[in-house]
């Protein structure tokens, strides 16, 4: 899967763009997508500040968080990112003017996030402002999340679904490979009949036998209690814990369930 760099841009980088950044990062984790996501603002009003409190509260309500500090959009972003995603029409038109003047030969697309809707139709994202109430942020959260899902589907990538075990009971040690002890290799018996030797000779002999045990275990592939315990493995009943690539239709259903 190709690595992409995506930048969400709004006017102040304090409301909608950091929310879109956090939502996209959560979707990436759930679908095994490895993209680089960031957000910025066209204006310098909030440089160095944290996102708005209502934005952070809305994210916390859905189990998300944002460690972003607001920054201003620069010309260098056209040369670094693959997608510059505008959060509203005003930002989109201004970014198009910037791109015509400063965009380099590198392929960089300026898109509007609300243009990614169901069945190829434009979606709807309410404009956010620090003066708006909390319900406006909550409504915009679902709108941004839906558009981010359809943006992922527009890239025609293989979405990966993971089914992880629910508890430690899903792990089991291999029963056909019992754990071997030191006595299995006869080390304990040999150390009981060490003749009368000097302390240095006894220590040297013990070290040689330990090295012999380690060599035999390495060559035969047998795990011992001293070297390393057997690694846990999934039971046959939990074979669904492995990753499963989804087609476009199944990927849409999986994203809708998130």
Q: Which of 26-35, 82-91, 243-252 has the highest mean pLDDT?
A: 82-91
- Determine how many CB atoms are found less than 10 A away from the CB of residue 212: 13
- CATH value at residue 80: 3.40.50.2300
User: Does one domain contain both 129 and 222?
Assistant: no
Q: How far apart are CA 11 and CA 70, in angstroms?
A: 11
Strand (E) or helix (H) holding 97: helix 89-102
What average pLDDT does range 222-239 have in this prediction?
A: 41
Do 127 and 75 fall into the same domain?
yes
Record the pTM: 0.68
Provide the 10 A C-beta neighbour count for residue 43: 14
Please report the sign of the dihedral spanned by the C-alpha atoms of residue 247, residue 31, residue 146, residue 10: negative
**Range 69-72, long-range pairs (CB < 8 A, 24+ positions):** 70/12, 70/13, 70/14, 70/18, 70/41, 70/46, 71/13, 71/40, 71/41, 71/47, 72/13, 72/40, 72/41, 72/42, 72/43, 72/44, 72/47
Q: What is the mean pLDDT of the chain?
A: 77
Average pLDDT over residues 193-221: 60
Both 46 and 127 in one domain: the answer is: yes
Which one is predicted more confidently, 238 or 214?
214
- Among 3-17, 101-115, 196-210, where is mean pLDDT lowest? 196-210
Query: Does residue 157 share a domain with residue 170?
Result: no
- Same domain flag for 177 and 124: no
Q: What CA–CA distance (Å, rounded) separates 256 from 251?
A: 9
Distance between CA atoms of 214 and 208, rounded to whole angstroms? 10
In this structure, the answer to whether residues 100 and 185 fall within a common structural domain is no
Do 99 and 204 sit in the same domain of this protein? no
Taking CB atoms within 8 Å and a gap of at least 24, the contacts of 172-179 are 172/232, 172/233, 172/234, 172/235, 173/230, 173/232, 173/233, 174/230, 174/233, 177/222, 177/223, 177/230, 179/223, 179/224, 179/225, 179/229, 179/230
Question: Domain span at residue 184?
Answer: 166-238
Residue 185 has what pLDDT? Answer: 43
């Amino acid at each position: 899967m190709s690595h992409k760099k995506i930048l969400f841009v709004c006017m102040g980088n304090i409301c909608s763009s950091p929310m879109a950044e956090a939502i996209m990062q959560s979707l990436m984790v759930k679908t095994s997508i490895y993209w680089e996501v960031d957000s910025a603002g066209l204006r310098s009003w909030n440089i160095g500040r944290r996102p708005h409190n209502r934005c952070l509260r809305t994210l916390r309500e859905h189990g998300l968080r944002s460690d972003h500090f607001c920054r201003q959009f620069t010309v260098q972003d056209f040369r670094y990112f693959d997608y510059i995603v505008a959060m509203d029409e005003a930002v989109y038109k201004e970014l198009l003017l910037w791109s015509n003047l400063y965009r380099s030969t590198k392929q960089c697309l300026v898109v509007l996030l609300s243009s990614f809707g169901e069945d190829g139709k434009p979606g709807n994202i309410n404009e956010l402002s620090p003066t708006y109430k909390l319900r406006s942020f909550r409504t915009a959260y679902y709108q941004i999340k839906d558009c981010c899902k359809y943006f992922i589907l527009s890239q025609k990538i293989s979405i990966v679904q993971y089914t992880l075990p629910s508890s430690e009971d899903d792990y089991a040690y291999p029963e056909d490979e019992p754990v071997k002890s030191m006595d299995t290799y006869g080390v304990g018996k040999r150390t009981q009949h060490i003749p009368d030797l000097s302390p240095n000779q006894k220590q040297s002999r013990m070290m040689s036998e330990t090295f012999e045990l380690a060599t035999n275990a390495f060559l035969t592939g047998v795990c011992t209690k001293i070297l390393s315990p057997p690694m846990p493995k999934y039971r046959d009943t939990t074979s669904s814990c492995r990753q499963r690539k989804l087609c476009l239709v199944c990927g849409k259903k999986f994203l809708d369930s998130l």
